[in-house]
């Protein structure tokens, strides 16, 4: 018959085993419960952080509607981010981002980089002229772009925009001016040069959009955003926009309007070491200026403008066009006046400009220009 000491020892061993068994059950349960609580609380914590960042921008106020966390993807989704100026005359939000998905780019981890990718669905950017004038006159306004980049904990490598909109609004004009690009779809890759390339411009950007007047817009090129002052080589096309859609703008600033016509714009720009070179080539085709219901003074002015349009118009293609060379340090970029006048006459009397990007500007031109300045 076992002694009391042996029995007591056996009972202690059994108690220890039961305690260990309970711990083996309850410790994982406690960890799971803790993770669930953290997962539930995390969106609210992140939302409060984002709202604090937006609230701390001098001269602006903003908020987000909701935050969703996707731990498996290493991502969080900001829904309904809006930003506006405190003393804005209008109620139009400066920024209105429907949905912004910020995630870790897993493919870059295998290359030894920790970077993020952003996908923005239906973002809207509104430049209200009257509100912007207040910003330029108020030194207390802070840089809102820095605050937004603070919302992304790591460098952005890939950016995608789906069905965005950008607009210039002037609300005090009569009628209101609304120049906009809609259906913006943009992709920019390798912004942090994760995929190492020997090229001077390792990042690629492509974008399409629809302009006011239903014009087709496309932009493509290469960049180097790692530099403090980014280098780039960009081409831009806007084709077949209805000129009458510009009437609110042209009547306000030039006192003329279009009865018909199409507007096209082609441009190439290269920037190297803070020096810019390029051109802007506007082409107006089949344009008719004078409207039937205009007053006498308006008809007189439009007739005056129309006379010069007739003199400078290319008769075979019925186009009024020019090519405006632009060049200079980024702080002092200027258009060349005499070449612009010559090109207007050239289009009308010598040879019409083609509806295309000329392909005459490249990155090396900007490099040479920057070297000459130095």
Cα separation, 347 vs 285, whole angstroms: 12
Q: Is 263's pLDDT higher than 90?
A: yes
Angle at 73 between CA 69 and CA 75, to 5 degrees: 40
Q: Which two tokens stand for residue 284?
A: 């107006």
> What is the per-residue pLDDT for 323?
93
**pLDDT bracket for residue 162 (50, 70, 90):** very high
Band of residue 20 on the pLDDT scale cut at 50, 70, 90: low
Residue 186: which pLDDT band, with cuts at 50, 70 and 90? Answer: very high
Output the six-digit token pair for 80.
């309904």
Q: Say whether pTM exceeds 0.75.
A: yes
Q: Kindly report, residue by residue over 62-105, the tens digit of the pLDDT.
A: 889 998 888 777 788 999 998 888 777 777 888 899 999 988 88
The reported pLDDT for the residue numbered 42 is: 73
- Higher per-residue pLDDT: 36 or 135: 36
| pLDDT tens for each residue of 199-255 | 789 999 999 999 999 999 999 999 998 787 889 999 999 999 999 998 888 888 877
Does position 44 have pLDDT exceeding 60, yes or no? yes
DSSP 1: -
User: DSSP characters for 247-308?
Assistant: HHHHHHHHS---SEEEEEEEEEEEEETTEEEEEEEEEEEEEE---TT--HHHHHHHHHHHHH
Rounded average pLDDT over 9-29: 59
Q: What is the pLDDT of residue 240?
A: 95
| pLDDT(8) > 60 | no
């Amino acid at each position: 018959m076992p002694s009391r000491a042996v029995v007591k020892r056996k009972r202690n061993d059994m108690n220890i085993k039961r305690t260990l068994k309970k711990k083996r059950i309850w410790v994982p349960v406690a960890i799971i419960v803790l993770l669930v609580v953290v997962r539930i609380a995390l969106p609210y914590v992140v939302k409060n952080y984002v709202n604090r960042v937006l609230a701390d921008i001098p001269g602006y106020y903003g908020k987000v509607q909701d935050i969703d966390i996707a731990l498996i993807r290493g991502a969080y989704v900001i829904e309904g981010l809006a930003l506006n100026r405190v003393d804005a005359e209008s109620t139009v939000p400066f920024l209105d981002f429907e949905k912004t998905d910020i995630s870790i780019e897993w493919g870059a981890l295998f290359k030894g980089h920790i970077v993020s990718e952003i996908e923005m669905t239906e973002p809207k950017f509104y430049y209200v002229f009257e509100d912007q004038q207040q910003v330029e006159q108020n030194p207390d306004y802070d840089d809102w772009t820095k605050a937004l980049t603070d919302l992304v904990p790591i460098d952005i490598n890939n950016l995608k925009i789906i069905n965005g909109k950008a607009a210039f609004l002037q609300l005090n004009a009569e009628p209101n001016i609304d120049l906009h690009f809609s259906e913006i779809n943009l992709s920019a890759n390798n912004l942090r040069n994760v995929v190492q390339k020997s090229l001077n411009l390792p990042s690629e950007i492509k974008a399409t959009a629809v302009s006011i007047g239903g014009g087709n817009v496309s932009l493509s090129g290469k960049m180097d955003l790692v530099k403090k002052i980014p280098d780039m080589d960009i081409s831009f096309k806007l084709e077949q926009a209805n000129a009458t859609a510009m009437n609110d703008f042209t009547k306000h600033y030039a006192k003329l309007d279009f009865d018909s016509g199409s507007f096209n714009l082609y441009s190439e720009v290269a920037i190297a070491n803070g020096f810019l070179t390029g051109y802007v080539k506007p082409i107006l085709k089949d344009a008719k200026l004078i409207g039937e219901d205009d007053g006498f003074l308006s008809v007189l002015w439009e007739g005056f403008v129309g006379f010069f349009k007739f003199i400078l118009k290319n008769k075979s293609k019925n186009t009024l066009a020019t090519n405006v060379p632009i060049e200079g340090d980024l702080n002092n970029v200027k258009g060349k006046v005499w070449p612009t006048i010559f090109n207007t006459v050239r289009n009308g009397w010598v040879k019409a400009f083609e509806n295309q990007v000329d392909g005459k500007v490249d990155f090396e031109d900007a490099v040479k220009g920057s070297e000459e300045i130095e």
